[in-house]
Amino acid sequence: MSLLPIDEAQARVLALGTFAAHEEVDIHDALGRWAVKPVVAQRTQPARDLSAMDGYAIRFADMPGPWRVTGESAAGSPFAGRIGAGEAVRIFTGAAIPDGGDTVLVQEEATRDGDRLLLAGEGPPHLARNVRRRGLDFAEGDLLVDAGERLTPARLAVCATGGVGRVAVARPIRVAIAATGDELVEPGTSAGLDALPESNRLLLRSLLADLPVTFMDLGILPDRLDVMTTAFAKVAADVLVTTGGASVGDHDLVRPALDAAGFSLDFWRIALRPGKPMLAGRRGATAVVGLPGNPVSAFVTALLFVRPLVAHLSGAADPFPRASSAILGEPLAANNNRTDYLRAEMRDGRVYASTIQDSSMLRTLARSTCLVIRPPHAPAARAGDSAEILTIA
């Protein structure tokens, strides 16, 4: 059986989606969304030379004083006059440097008696000390956030400072989620020996919670072709995510149900552990990603495929999770043909994979802080070797 390599499967999943229409939103509602157009500064920051400290605006040429204090400049209330020879103006952080002034003497290095000001320390060592020059941060017309970049807290703050009140983003991505399996019951309800509390919908919603999505919950679908087909046929969403029923058993009906509901399959089964039986396809503008039922497999495939797809449709230029490198704390065996994502913990700067890597084990996943990525056919690794990891907690 030939299995699709991960990077190829990821590219194909992104290609199955249809981009969402754009909308303009207030910057207060834009956290976590992606800019779909470059955001350009509408003003220069600072708009004029400002003081970086509380103290006295002076002319550097007049060092080491003394000075005569002729007025005050506060943030938002500039001094109207000019600083002449031997003159100083009381100034506060963020206030405009008055005309004629060029340097700020901090108040800790000055003593004042009425309008008489004396140096009481070393004073500013050079011209323009403690002055923030006009345009130090950015100038009108500068790029603040590029198209495809995420609107993080700091980027929203720079938009605000740049005089930008609204940004163009993709409208929220509509994600429909269905769990499948006769054994599944809603969490928190009493379960007999043959019932299993359903956890994948909560897992998925939580994994997508920081993305711009609206959810449609299709609930728990029984392993019945007619019920699944009816449910899938009705879906009006950008992305349909199913979990379970993706493998080869007699009760694994997601593929035939999607087919009967009008979806065409793009691929099924990939070179990934856990997550091999994943499938993907589309119907019109709706992409479908069918995740395996095992919770850890659902977690890994959601991280590698569903989150990136949603981010991509939201306008992300770089939608994939970013790997970093870590030092192995113990040896690892050689890998076979599937990329492996091992549940692991970071301790004292070294990474340790759990001894049992069973894709049903949620407690192991819940204790893990990262996944160690083992590429196909990776040779055995020793303690001290470096490995790629994905941080998950």
Q: Which residues bind ligand MOO (CB under 6 A)?
A: 273-276, 292, 294, 297, 359
Shortest distance, position 30 Cβ to ligand LQZAQKY5, whole Å: 33
315 binds, among ligand LQZAQKY5, ligand MOO, none (CB under 5 to 8 A by kind): none
199 binds ligand LQZAQKY5 (CB under 6 A): yes
Q: Provide φ and ψ at 64, rounded to 5°.
A: -95, 35
Residue showing the smallest CB distance to ligand LQZAQKY5 in the complex: 293
Contacts of 126 (CB under 8 A, 6+ apart): 60, 103
Shortest distance, position 177 Cβ to ligand LQZAQKY5, whole Å: 10
* Residue number with CB closer to ligand MOO (196 or 260): 196
Which 8-state DSSP code applies to residue 74?
B
The answer to whether 350 and 326 have CB atoms below 8 angstroms apart is yes
46 binds ligand LQZAQKY5 (CB under 6 A): no
Contacts of 273 (CB under 8 A, 6+ apart): 338, 339, 340, 341, 359
Q: What are the structure tokens assigned to 259, written together?
A: 């087919």
Cα separation, 237 vs 2, in Å, equals 31
Shortest distance, position 272 Cβ to ligand MOO, whole Å: 7
Q: Is 204 helix (H, G, I), strand (E, B) or coil?
A: helix
Cα separation, 88 vs 101, in Å, equals 8
276 binds ligand LQZAQKY5 (CB under 6 A): yes
200 binds, among ligand LQZAQKY5, ligand MOO, none (CB under 5 to 8 A by kind): ligand LQZAQKY5
248 binds ligand LQZAQKY5 (CB under 6 A): yes
246 binds, among ligand MOO, ligand LQZAQKY5, none (CB under 5 to 8 A by kind): ligand LQZAQKY5
Beta bridge mates, 22: 170
C-alpha distances (whole Å) from 3 to each of 6, 241, 376 are 9, 21, 11
The residues of the shown chain that bind ligand LQZAQKY5, judged by CB under 6 A, are 179, 181, 183-184, 196, 198-200, 243-249, 252, 274, 276-277, 292-295, 297, 359-360
